[in-house]
Chain A
Amino acid sequence: MQITLRVNGEERTLDVTPYTRLLDLIREDLGLTGVKEGCGKGECGACTVIMNGELTASCLVPAPQADGAEILTIEGLAADGKLDPIQESFIEAGAVQCGFCIPGMVLAGKRLLDENPNPNEEDVRYGLSGNICRCTGYAKIIDAVMMAADKLKVEGSVNNGE
């Protein structure tokens, strides 16, 4: 069967089988390998994408369900080669070690800040609770999201002044 969806702003039409996972469609058919598979069971958050504005474990979504969907993957976050403030913050806070969980973490952080630009630490912990990291112990990942919130506040005030 054929489905049409928008991935990182680009409309794509693909042939899929009913049992193709959205994760495989993104990684294998579209070649966007920044989306990772950690468990294949919706537990670890490595395969996180933002689908129709919601954090989604792409390993649990049958591809046909994504027909007509709007999907953002980690590859679509940096606009014109310029990193998103949350990506910058992950680098600057030292939140990245092996990096395998990071695409999912960054998207979870972005989704949180889109909804709540003023999170406290507990909000951040809750916002990232669907994503497992085995290297860092989370402290610097939480710092990174808080740092990004500060950056966005500054950027926001500049934009408002214009």
Chain B
Amino acid sequence: MANNKYDVKDYYCKHTTRCTVEGEKKSKRFVGRNVLKADAEDKVTGEAVYPNDITFEDTLYLKVKRAVHPHAFLKDIDISEAKKVKGVVDIITAEDIPEVRKFGLIIRDQPVLVGIGEKMRYMGDALAVVVAENKEAAIKARDLIKVKVEKLEIITNPFRAMEDDAPDIHPDGNILITHNLDRGDVEAAFAESDIIVEKKYQTQFIDQLPMQNEAGTAFYDEKKGIVNIWAATQWLHDTQADIAQSLRLAKGQVRIIQPTIGGAFGKKEDVSVHIHLAIAAIRTGRPVKFTYTREESMITQSKRHPITIYNKTGVSKDGYLKAWETKFIGDTGAYASSGPAVVHKGMYHATGPYDVANIRGISHAVYTNNTYCGAMRGFGTTQGAFAYESQMDILAEKLEMDPAQFRLQNVYHIGSSTPNGQQLNHSVNAEETIKRVMELSGWKGGQKE
């Protein structure tokens, strides 16, 4: 990228073109072979460039003033003392960017900056962006910003959020989305069941905790009208589109350059530093850099959903699953992120690899004032796995059956169909997997010693 004033470089991944073996057709180069990772050498020598490793000459540093209360109206924000800090170049509040729109992966419900009269909904909400010549000045100024709020009830429990007298976190109410599942005749199947087990399961918040915190650099190329952002994302083109709609730019005016990513596991699907960087880059005309601290990353960016799962399962006395009723209540936190997809995906997988003809379920993704929840490895299904595997063990004990045998006689095979009606016509290895585990572990039939 040529630029008269600043020497900015691209730093995108250069490895895609290096994996060539002469004279071989595409798939034969890799399939069935051991291939050394193309970028491993750069990573063992420290040469690989991650987002936080990029600093251009004359770079400005960003810090964000975040919410002071998990659920409150912003009544006043005073930046006068902060502005006097030596080295502060710009302090951006919502009134400076009236044209900027909300963002979000599925539902655009997340404000770029909370304005006066608007609500902060969790501790990660941004109230102001400080831009300074160095990090120290940015931190000092951020801490001098004074905020007045009108506190509201803090809702940290989705069951409280669903009560009639609970305050609405978002205008459309606290239940973000509800999904239903209904197959077969669940009532009749329960009536025919010999044993019915009904249990409640609770999972917790988990941070994906990639080793690298959210970080990035941006520079606005004024001549071309393009804002360049060097930062990690797992959805490059969705992130580009979301930033563009938020800033009312054409997609072509937002260019994201992916440096090497220091882990993500779902956490980097959401916008983090990107929009604040873009706004600061456009306003100042200088390269800008923003790096989250670990605390900021944990407070601000997504988590795995804590889900409360109710499972009611009916079996015949010879150990066949007859009926399954389930309920998934997911705490999706303050913003939607991937929540609308995660919680109901969990419900669709409520029976895991086990075949149940009659199933009924309901899922609610519920807003609270906790840090928002989104994608993490498994996308809702890991929470369900804890519940259905526990349920299977409890059932096996009641049936006085070997829990492995009980599982074996209920797993999917080729031709089975899942609760949402997907036909499994290709590779179904549940039986083989369980048998192999029994063999490798020297399984003795689950007898207590």
A and B physically associate: yes
- A residues lining the B interface (CB < 8 Å): 27-28, 32-41, 44, 46, 73-75, 77-78, 83, 87, 90-92, 94, 96-103, 106, 132-135
User: What are 17 A-B pairs at a CB distance below 8 A?
Assistant: A36-B52, A37-B213, A40-B293, A73-B46, A75-B46, A77-B45, A87-B41, A90-B40, A98-B211, A98-B212, A98-B261, A99-B262, A100-B262, A100-B263, A106-B44, A132-B211, A135-B263
B36 engages A34 (CB within 8 Å): no
Bound-state Cα–Cα, A92 to B36, Å = 7
Contact with A along B230-267 (1 / 0, CB 8 A): 00000000000000000000000000000011111100
User: Inside 8 A of B37's CB, which chain A residues have their CB?
Assistant: 91, 94, 96
CB-contact partner of B53 in A33, A73, A78, A98, under 8 A? A33
* A100-B50 contact in complex given A91-B36, A94-B37, C-beta closer than 8 Å: yes
Task: Specify which chain A residues have a CB less than 8 angstroms from the CB of B39 in the assembled complex.
Answer: 96, 99
- Asked whether any CB of chain A lies closer than 8 Å to the CB of B209, the reply is yes
In the complex with contacts A33-B53, A74-B45, A90-B44, A38-B212 CB distance below 8 A: yes
What is the bound-complex CA distance between A106 and B47, given in angstroms? 14
Closest CB in chain A relative to B376 CB, distance in Å:
12
The verdict on B100 contacting chain A, using a C-beta distance below 8 Å, is no
Indicate if B357 sits at the interface (CB-CB under 8 A).
no
Which of B36, B52, B55, B210 is close to A98, meaning CB atoms less than 8 Å apart?
B210
Give, as a whole number of angstroms, the nearest-CB distance from A85 to chain B.
11
Determine the distance from Cα of A83 to Cα of B210 in the docked complex, in whole angstroms. 27
Chain B interface (Cβ within 8 Å of chain A)? 36-37, 39-50, 52-53, 55, 208-213, 260-265, 293-294
Q: Is the interface of B mostly helix, strand, loop or mixed?
A: loop
Is A36 in contact with B45, judged by CB distance below 8 angstroms?
no
B44 smallest CB distance to A (angstroms): 4
A91-B41, A98-B262 are known contacts. Are A46 and B211 too (CB-CB below 8 A)?
yes
Residue from A38, A101, A132 having most chain B Cβ neighbours under 10 A: A38
From DSSP, what is the main secondary structure of chain A's interface residues?
loop
Q: Contact check: which of B45, B208, B211, B261 meets A34 at CB < 8 Å?
A: B45
Name which of A41, A97, A100 has the most chain B CB atoms within 10 A of its CB: A100
Instruction: Compute how far the CA of A27 lies from the CA of B52 in the bound complex, rounded to whole angstroms.
Output: 10
Instruction: Say yes or no: B45 contacts A75, CB within 8 Å.
Output: yes
Enumerate chain B residues within 8 angstroms of A92, measured Cβ to Cβ.
36
CA distance A100 to B37 in the complex (A): 15
| A96 and B211 contact, CB distance less than 8 A | no
A46 to B265, CA, bound (A): 18
Closest chain A CB from B169 CB (angstroms) = 31
Q: Of the candidates A34, A90, A97, A133, which one forms a contact with B46 in the assembled complex, judged by CB atoms under 8 Å apart?
A: A34
Query: B278 → chain A, closest Cβ, in Å?
Result: 23
Which chain B residues border A94 with CB–CB below 8 Å? 36-37
Q: Which residue among B49, B212, B260, B293 has the maximum number of chain A CB atoms within 10 Å of its CB?
A: B212
Question: Contacts of B211 on A, CB cut-off 8 Å?
Answer: 36, 38, 44, 46, 98, 100-101, 132-134
For the complex formed, measure the closest distance between the CB of B88 and the CB atoms of chain A, giving whole angstroms. Answer: 19
Q: Take A38-B294, A46-B211, A96-B37 as given contacts and tell me if A103 and B262 are in contact as well, using a CB distance cutoff of 8 Å.
A: no
Contact assessment for B47 and A34 in the assembled complex, using a CB-CB cutoff below 8 Å: yes
Is B44 within 8 A of A96, CB to CB?
yes
B293 surroundings in chain A (CB, below 8 A) = 40
Q: Are B212 and A74 in contact (CB under 8 A)?
A: no
Inter-chain contact A96/B263, CB cutoff 8 Å: no
Asked whether, in the complex, the Cβ of B44 is within 8 Å of the Cβ of A91, the reply is: yes
Given contacts A44-B211, A100-B212, A101-B211, contact A74 B46 (CB under 8 A): yes
Chain B residues, CB < 8 A from A44: 211
Query: Which of A73, A91, A92 has the most chain B CB within a 10 Å cutoff?
Result: A91
Docked complex Cα distance between A103 and B49 (Å): 13
Q: Which residues of B contact A90 (CB under 8 A)?
A: 40, 44
Taking A98-B210, A103-B44, A134-B208 as given, write out 15 further A-B residue pairs in contact, using a Cβ cutoff of 8 Å, ordered by the A residue number: A28-B55, A35-B46, A36-B212, A36-B262, A38-B211, A40-B293, A46-B211, A75-B45, A91-B40, A91-B41, A98-B262, A99-B39, A100-B262, A102-B43, A134-B209
